[in-house]
Every structure is written in structure tokens, then in C-alpha cells.
Amino acid sequence: MPRIVLYQPDIPHNTGAILRFAACLGLGVDLIEPAGFDLSDRGMKRAGMDYLERAALSRHLSFAAFEEFRLAAGSRLVLLTTKAERSYLDFRYRPDDFLMFGRESAGVPDDVHALADHRLRIHMQPGLRSLNLAMTVAMVAGEALRQTGGPAADDTNDKDAGHDRA
């Protein structure tokens, strides 16, 4: 399944929500450091709740270290950026794609932008700057999963599951 890559995220509860999302759908997350917060941050834990224990999180000390990992896997780097022309809906995803999202304060540096194999955007209403990072991840990963076969496991028929829990 496609992986979610977070480039030096700034806001702990966004990362917590993304880790929860990824754990629920069985997606791996690659976090490129440094993050703008400590990974023991309370806000991140509150947003991720006990789902964090199930998150398949890989930490990379730098973008160069992440690139070594990605290139060894032979996978494409697909960058989500407000500066792209192409829509995220007008793209054929592959199961081994790395979907990279920039930091909340500044996106990604120009050299990382240039290095990506593909650059995609979610079109917005004129004059608006950007979407929330976690919502962008959910929209794009949702489309990538739809195209590549959906989440790994499905327990929606388990009527006795604890649906009342947040």
C-alpha cells in the first residue's frame, strides 16, 4: 500500500491525527526529522490516542537518510504541494508510492520540491492558501487507496466492535 511521508512536521496534534488515520487503515508513515516538537508530546498523544501503539511509524534522521531508504525500495516520490498544477485526482497511483506532505509552516524546500518524481495538488477556491495537513493526507491517501485496492483489512462487519469509543 502507498506510504505517507511527513516532511519535518510542526504541529503535534496533526501528526497524532495522521498516525491514528494510518493505523486504522494499515498505512505506513515515514517521518523525516527534525520535527518541530518532541515525539513524546502530549498533544500528539492526545490526538493519536491509543492508536499510536498500532501505527507503523519509521523515523528518518534527515531527508538524505529517507531518500536512501526510498531509493532502495525503488519507489516513486509523489509530493503534495499547493505549487503543483496537476490535480491529485488526475494521477494513477501505484501501491508502492511514497506520498509526501510538507511541513505546516513552510511546505518543503525548493530542492526537495524539484527532486520529487511527481507533484500534485488539491484544487481550492481562489484566494485561499492551503488545507490542513491531516485533511490533505486523508483526501490523497483515500484516493490512492481507492485506486490501489483499499485498506488491507476490513472489520466493518464486526457489529460488536466498540463503535461508541471516539
Ligand X SMILES: C[S@@+](CC[C@H](N)C(=O)[O-])C[C@H]1O[C@@H](n2cnc3c(N)ncnc32)[C@H](O)[C@@H]1O
Q: Known binding site for S-adenosyl-L-methionine: residues?
A: 80, 102, 122, 130
Determine, following the binding rule CB under 6 A, whether residue 139 of this chain makes contact with ligand X.
no
- Of 136 and 145, which CB lies nearer to ligand X in the complex structure? 136
Q: To the nearest whole angstrom, how small is the minimum distance from the Cβ of residue 105 to ligand X?
A: 7
Q: Which stretch binds ligand X (CB under 6 A): 28-36, 50-58, 89-97, 129-137?
A: 129-137
User: Phi first, then psi: what are they for 75, rounded to 5°?
Assistant: -105, 160
- Of 106 and 114, which CB lies nearer to ligand X in the complex structure? 106
Give the per-residue SS3 of 15-50. Answer: HHHHHHHHHHHCCEEEEECCCCCCCCCHHHHHHHHH
Q: To the nearest whole angstrom, how small is the minimum distance from the Cβ of residue 14 to ligand X?
A: 9
Considering only 22, 31, 112, 133, the residue that binds ligand X (CB under 6 A) is 133
87-126: which residues touch ligand X (CB under 6 A)?
Answer: 101-102, 104, 106-107, 121-122, 124
What does R_g of the chain's alpha carbons equal in angstroms? 16
28-32 and 98-101 beta bridge pairing: unpaired
- CA-to-CA dists, residue 37 to 2, 4, 41, 49, 88, angstroms: 25, 19, 7, 17, 29
Q: To the nearest whole angstrom, how small is the minimum distance from the Cβ of residue 10 to ligand X?
A: 9
Segment holding 118, helix H or strand E: strand 118-120
Considering only 18, 77, 99, 136, the residue that binds ligand X (CB under 6 A) is 136
